Structure 1
Amino acid sequence: MQHSHSLSVVVPVYNEEANLRPLMEQIRAALTPLGREWEAVFVDDGSTDQSLAVLRELADADPRVRYLAFVANRGQSAAFVAGFAAARNDLVVTMDADLQNDPADIPALLGLFEREGLDMACGLRAKRRDTFVKRISSKFGNAVRTRLTGKTVTDTGCSLKIMRADMARRMPPFKGMHRFFPNLMLWQGARVAEMPVNHRPRNAGVSKYGTLDRAVQGGMDLLGVRWLRSRFIAYQIKEQG
């Protein structure tokens, strides 16, 4: 059976003015040959640089580019939630604005999604281009997250993912939820798989969160998600009339 899913690429943005134009060029180059309906939805998370001005420019130049701008910084999870709500297509693609995710991986990830009949396809950063401390802390965090919250994917920290938009919108919104997207999808009964993707070094801008900040906040989030898992409501409709 031939699928023809349409795509909404949702990208949180916080002070990434230097990366937005090349990112949009790469998204366009990756998606246009697919012959699918697609859009890019950028969510400006209260940037203090010229990111919003660049987004206005990109939207004026291409009707497939849309943007939302928060009044103030609300965090990556809030930006994803707003982007999911605004997405017009049946699949959402999540990625970062810092160019470390490679849009050229989207077609292969979409191929896995459709070939396997998935609800979510996740990128796996086989060769991470981060500092040693960041790699070790991420690996430790993934192990603890799996231990406390149940089955998940190997690399929950990779932002490059494709998922059904309707299921993405059913995930309970909370600060830090973006670290648990695979868990929140699996709890809904989603079929999830992952594949290796490219991971590139950051060439412009700076990381917005320190390792200690991530560790402290991540620990608090884990306790909350563990509780949420015990109270999560999931059901399937057998029949209706």
Structure 2
Amino acid sequence: MTLKYDLSIVVPVYNEQDNLRKLMQEIAAALDPQPINYEVVFVDDGSTDNSLAVLKELAAAYSRLRYISFEQNRGQSAAFCAGFDEAQADRVATMDADLQNDPADLPAMYTLYEQGHDMVIGWRAKRRDVWIKRIASKIANAIRNRLTRESVRDTGCSLKIMDTSMVRSIPRFNGMHRFLPTLMKMQGASVAETKVNHRPRLEGVSKYGTWDRAVAGAYDLFGVRWLQSRHFSYKIREKNK
């Protein structure tokens, strides 16, 4: 199968009507000057505002843009996975639709990926969230790294580039997007981390409360730790044809 693009960008959308036009403009501004043939796959996660109507308008204006829309809200992990399945490139990038991730970081991340990694993840060194979210994120990262024996600075950053075939092979469950570096490493991925820009949310509201995220994250963490304890791999020495 000949792949049409170098990079597929997957963007989950849930009630982000006021951010989508600017986001697509920023993606185009960041990548059009680059020697990267890309597509953008927006996944409407059952939005109840005008997000779908805006995506239809953008699809008519941008040939690189495709969208799919869920019948009902299924969550961020499901939206990411649907985008992975739709991707037409062997590298897939992920980012949020709220404009807090900066598309201008993508070219440098792509270059780092091409240096021999299977995954490049963003590290929001200067978070632009309210203080309670920053503290909660630091605590969650510390606990997550301790239990999964990881050293990832910012696994919650949605700005990532991954090998498409590998990310399609990881276990799928609600909350899996919080553990993508660990799950990719279980597939044998080489993972690099790099500083990225982080911006305050200007339009719309966050879809996740601090307490809700903490409870769901703790529940998922034990599941991932169980997967690690039961994971196996093998290498074939030889076989006949």
TM-score by length of 1: 0.95
C-alpha contact 1:152 1:183 (8 A) present in aligned 2: no
Superposed displacement of residue 189, structure 1:
1.2
For 2:18, the equivalent position in structure 1 comes to 18
Contact kept, 8 Å, 1:152 with 1:186, in 2: the verdict is no
Distance between the aligned counterparts of 2:28 and 2:237, measured in 1? Answer: 41
Aligned equivalents of 2:238, 2:40: Cα separation in 1: 36
CA distance in 2, matches of 1:180, 1:130: 21
CA distance in 1 between partners of 2:232 and 2:80 (Å): 22
Partner of 1:63 in structure 2?
Answer: 63
Show the counterpart of 2:84.
84
Task: Kindly report the root-mean-square deviation, in angstroms, between the aligned alpha carbons of the 2 structures.
Answer: 1.3
Q: Distance in 2 between matches of 1:53 and 1:16?
A: 11
The answer (yes or no) to whether the contact 1:7–1:38 under 8 Å persists in 2 is: yes
2:47 counterpart of 1:47: yes
CA drift of 1:111 comes to 1.3
SS of equivalent to 1:168: helix
The answer to which of 30-39 and 171-180 deviates more is 30-39
CA 1:146–1:51 in 2, change beyond 3 Å: closer, same or farther? Answer: same
Structure 1 residues not aligned, in runs of 5+? none
Identify the residue that residue 140 of structure 2 maps to in structure 1.
141
1:142-172 CA-to-partner distances (Å, cap 9, x unmatched) read 1111111222421001100001101110111
One-letter amino acid of the counterpart of residue 114, structure 2 = E
Return the alpha-carbon distance in structure 2 between the equivalents of residues 157 and 201 of structure 1: 16
CA distance in 1, matches of 2:197, 2:61: 28
CA-to-partner distance for each residue in 1:73-101, whole Å, 9 max, x for gaps?
A: 00000000000000000100000000000
**Alpha-carbon distance between aligned partners in 2 of 1:103 and 1:183, rounded to the nearest angstrom:** 24
SS across alignment from 1:12: strand
Name whichever of 29-38 and 91-100 sits farther off: 29-38
**Structure 2: gaps of 5 or more residues:** none
Aligned residue pairs: how many? Answer: 236
Residue 8 (structure 2) pairs with residue 8 (structure 1): yes
Deviations 1:112-159 (A, max 9, x none): 1112x1000011001100011101110110111111122242100110
Q: Secondary structure at the match of 2:133?
A: helix
1:223 corresponds in structure 2 to 222
Aligned twin of 2:157: 158
Tell me the distance in 1 between the aligned counterparts of 2:65 and 2:234: 36
Paired with 1:134 and 1:55, the residues of 2 have a C-alpha distance of: 29
Q: 1:237 to 1:200 in 2, by over 3 A?
A: farther
Q: Normalising to structure 2: TM-score of the pair?
A: 0.95
Match of 1:34, SS?
coil
- State, as a whole percentage, how many aligned pairs show the same letter: 64
Matched to 2:53, the amino acid is A
Provide the rounded CA distance (Å) in 2 between the counterparts of 1:27 and 1:97.
Answer: 11
- Distance in 2 between the 1:209 and 1:24 partners? 23
